[in-house]
Chains A and B, each alone.
Chain A
Amino acid sequence: MFLVPGFIERFLHRMASPPHFYAITERLMPWLWGIFSLLLLSGLYSGLFLAPPDYQQGESYRIIFIHVPSAWMSLFIYSVMAMAGAIALVWRIKLAEVVAISSAPVGAGFTFIALVTGSLWGKPMWGTWWVWDARLTSELILLFLYLGVIGLYNAIDDKRSASRAVAILALVGVVNIPIIHYSVEWWSTLHQGPTVTKLDKPSIHVSMLIPLLIMAVAFKFYYLIAMLQRAKTEVLVREQNAQWVKSMTEQELAS
């Protein structure tokens, strides 16, 4: 651990203990909300008003400011989930279990948003709501993987074993995602040949890239907020018999 500065290591150690985690996230939350709304407003404003219309697609390309960051997040969150799962399996850190399972619904949400916005964009551009294109198909399969994780967690009563099951499944999934992705890509080019989706895209202009990146960072913050909020609730449920939860609720009731 000599690569990690001491204060970060201490911070991580403290975050692994539920009461500290709860207190720190409670204090972080307003800041996260502030940064998120700032980024969201500036990203949306520069994306929807400042960025020029596309020379081919006109105004309807602007959906990428939602669509592309969501698609990025869908993969990012799955890998976070798998990493947290691996940590939970190896070191048995309760907080990693909580982070893994709290990420799943957020990731599923982003995957769903990416699919819906893609389909909304596809209607005017390709003339159809759905194409069995490689990316769409692998995104759909990713959604199924997320739903499998959520379903498995809810099916097992004992939440500690449920989290271990979810961690195993997430790791199996993360090994499989590249295989699925490339096989689907291979399949669709094999069956359909180059279609509308293979349009040679000109590399994106900087006036569109900046809002896109701002939105991507804003979505990361949204993920943090949503995941931490879920994690807080999950920690409270799991630790409901612990002393710190009792004294905290007593304090809240007294005030």
Chain B
Amino acid sequence: MSLLQAFLAIVRRDLVLAFRRRSEIANPLLFFILIITLFPLGVGAQPKLLQAIAPGIIWVSALLAAMLSLDGLFRSDFDDGSLELLLLSPYPTSVLVLGKITAHWLVTGLPLLLIAPLLALLLGISERALGTLLLTLLLGTPVLSLIGAIGVALTVGLRRGGMLMSLLVLPLYVPVLIFASSAVDMATAGLPVSAQINIMVSILLLALVLTPWPAATALKMSIN
């Protein structure tokens, strides 16, 4: 089996597993929608105010939803021992980890993208900013999965690692949050957003190259 085939096999396996347990796909999505519904209730339903804070709300909710879903990335494989088999396989662990992250993003990150137009409507984001919002979600959510994978890999061996993982991962999410929400802000004001988008693309590329490696090392540490 070539490296690419091994990668695709991991992606396919994780997708099949995810679709057999559909509620696990739905939960982060419902969480995302719920948090966004809570904000108008909390800060008041003035359209002006909501419109002003909408990019921040959507992105903070996306961050939290990603955090919540991350725990499932390695958990079941760790529990049933298939993670050890993955580490023992002749392929580089970082590539296999990248495969798991890809599958995870397809089932948790991509749905956020599909539901976002509806939520943008609820919060009154203008139409011209909608495209930018979708683009930032497309570029930003993979980064959340990639960076988050390091945090999960470090804490997967712990019984109650969830809270600790958020402490490890959330500070690292700050750049994505800043650039994504400011891009949507700028787009709402009708200004060009190419600077933010370029930086987000570079963050994504950097994360794609750099994160699977520490995640793989951390997994090996967690296993023994």
Contact = CB atoms under 8 A, between A and B. Distances in A.
Contact of A168 (B158, B171, B199, B217): B217
A171 B214 contact: yes
Contacts, number: 70
Interface stretch (A16-24, A25-33, A58-66, A180-188): A180-188
A168 B218 CA distance: 7
Interface in B138-167: 150, 154-155, 157-158, 161, 164, 167
B178 interface: yes
B41 to A, nearest CB: 25
A87 interface: no
7 contacts: A144-B170, A148-B164, A155-B164, A161-B224, A168-B218, A179-B203, A187-B182
B45 interface: no
Contacts of B172: 172-173, 176, 180
Given A141-B171, A151-B164, A168 B182 contact: no
A168 B154 CA distance: 9
Contacts of B157: 156, 161
A152 B168 contact: yes
Interface of A is mostly: helix
Interface residues of A, number: 28
A141 B167 CA distance: 11
A188 to B, nearest CB: 9
Interface string A137-161: 0000100110110011001100001
B21 to A, nearest CB: 28
B190 interface: no
Interface in B99-149: none
A172 B158 CA distance: 20
A125 to B, nearest CB: 26
Interface of A: 89, 141, 144-145, 147-148, 151-152, 155-156, 161, 164-165, 168-169, 171-173, 175-176, 179-180, 183-184, 186-187, 190-191
Contacts of B210: 175
B174 interface: yes
Nearest to A156: B158
Given A148-B167, A155-B158, A180-B172, 6 more contacts: A144-B167, A148-B168, A151-B164, A151-B167, A169-B150, A186-B178
B174 A168 contact: no
Nearest to B168: A148
B175 interface: yes
Contacts of B32: none
A205 B218 CA distance: 48
A184 B178 contact: yes
Given A165-B221, A171-B214, A145 B154 contact: no
Contacts of A173: 172
